[in-house]
Amino acid sequence: MIENFKGTHILHGNQFAKEDLDKVMQVADEFEKGLKNGETYDLMRGKVLAALFFEPSTRTRLSFESAMLRLGGGVISVASAATSSAAKGESIADTALTVSQYADVIVMRHPQIGSAAEAAEVAKIPVINAGDGAGQHPTQALLDVHTIKKEIDKLDGIQVSLVGDLKYGRTVHALVELLSLYDIGLRLVSPASLKMPTDMVSNLKEKGVDVVETENLPEAVAGSDLLYVTRIQKERFSDVAEYEKLKGAYVVDNAMLQKAKEGIVIMHPLPRVDEITTEVDSYKGAAYFRQVRNGVFVRMALLAVVSGLK
Ligand code: NCD
């Protein structure tokens, strides 16, 4: 358990205990209620967030920026590797040391696994991992768990299916770490070549999670309380032909949902390509845009707790 979040780097899904998630979710709820009631915040007035995005992003960067602005703080950002000194060959460590002089919190996305941890080693301020290549994406996992709790009302006792690119998908890599804290049945649904790395699966089993690996999506739909769909990630394939072969592997549409378990909730970290058809957007369990909204509250909470303000 994290006794005091102040100054803590947020790097990996495995760093949290259940109590930590409760804390973040409780602060997120508080901000959500406040904003709904028209409250404005100056908790982070005078503080600066550096958003360093060396890989494409829409939601993660903008929701962090929105969160910081809603807390009364300011934002400086790098929106692509091409426009920063990374393009000149500057190391992650030098970048982190430099940005530590300008900001109070760093949020960083980078194509390399372990990059955020590398920055955290030298940074003088908290570093939040917003995605390190095919590694981890802990803030997405936190907002995902928060969304599950809001949508289903509980975490224990539910059946969850993770669908799609489980090999390279950093959102699911982080999410399973958090889900393993609860009594959850986990189905890992992917094409054989995109299975979750074996060390992660054995780690889950060691923790006592009931894990089933399968390629059968319809069966998962019929037996799950939550379907968490992910994109097949073109940018992670070295062989484009391999991507082309797999890209249409799983598509969730209304026809498939006719056989779904009553009350099924569908989530997706987004962006989607074609793995959930747009007709599903009006399905009552389609929660992915509510999930997007929860991202702002959870990221407000994270910024506040790592700054020692909540
Ligand atoms: C994901 C990511 O970047 O890992 N998006 C996100 O942060 N919400 C998923 C993806 O790119 O497919």
- Could you read off the pLDDT of 205-221 as tens digits, one per residue? 999 999 999 999 999 99
pLDDT at 2 over 90: no
Is residue 228 within a helix (H) or strand (E), and if so which, with residue range?
A: strand 226-229
**Ligand 1 centroid – CA 235 distance (Å):** 12
To the nearest whole percent, how much of the chain has pLDDT over 70? 100
Q: Which atom of ligand 1 is nearest to the CA of 131?
A: 4
| 265-297: b (≥16 Cβ within 10 Å) or e | bbbbbbebeebbeeebeebebbbbeebbebbbb
Task: Answer yes or no: 109 catalytic.
Answer: yes
Q: Which atom of ligand 1 is nearest to the CA of 233?
A: 12
Per-residue pLDDT of 232-290, as tens digits, reads: 989 889 899 989 989 888 999 999 999 999 999 999 999 999 999 999 999 999 999 99
Q: Which atom of ligand 1 is nearest to the CA of 230?
A: 12
Per-residue pLDDT of 24-56, as tens digits, reads: 999 999 999 999 999 999 999 999 999 999 999
Q: Which of 132, 147, 167, 171 to mutate to test the pocket of ligand 1 (most atoms within 8 A of CB)?
A: 171
pLDDT at 79 over 90: no
Cα gap 238→261, rounded to integer Å: 37
Instruction: Choose the catalytic residue: 9, 23, 137, 170.
Output: 137
* pLDDT for the residue numbered 83: 80
CA-nearest residue for atom 7, ligand 1, is 60
Task: Answer yes or no: 137 catalytic.
Answer: yes
Distances (CA, A) of 24 to 9, 18, 47, 111, 158: 14, 10, 20, 27, 21
* pLDDT for the residue numbered 193: 92
Neighbours of 138 (CB within 10 A): 29
pLDDT at 151 over 90: yes
Matching residue, tokens 């959930």: 276
Q: Give SS3 for 213.
A: strand
Let me know if 143 is exposed, middle or buried by CB neighbors in 10 A (0-12, 13-18, 19+): buried
Matching residue, tokens 């929660």: 287
**Ligand 1 centroid – CA 60 distance (Å):** 8
* pLDDT for the residue numbered 300: 98
CA-nearest residue for atom 11, ligand 1, is 271
Q: Which of 62, 110, 140, 194 to mutate to test the pocket of ligand 1 (most atoms within 8 A of CB)?
A: 140
* pLDDT for the residue numbered 195: 97
Do 120 and 127 meet the contact criterion of CB atoms below 8 Å apart?
yes
Task: Answer yes or no: 8 catalytic.
Answer: no
Per-residue pLDDT of 107-129, as tens digits, reads: 999 999 999 999 999 999 999 99
Prior bond to 191 cis, omega within 30?
A: no
Q: Select from 253, 283, 287 the least CA-distant residue to 270.
A: 287
Q: Select from 136, 141, 93, 144 the least CA-distant residue to 114.
A: 136
pLDDT at 3 over 90: no
Q: What is the mean pLDDT of the chain?
A: 96
- CB-based pocket (< 6 A), ligand 1: 59-60, 131, 137, 140, 170-171, 230-231, 233, 269-271
**Ligand 1 centroid – CA 79 distance (Å):** 15
Q: Which atom of ligand 1 is nearest to the CA of 60?
A: 7
* pLDDT for the residue numbered 122: 97
pLDDT at 58 over 90: yes
* pLDDT for the residue numbered 20: 98
pTM (predicted TM-score): 0.96
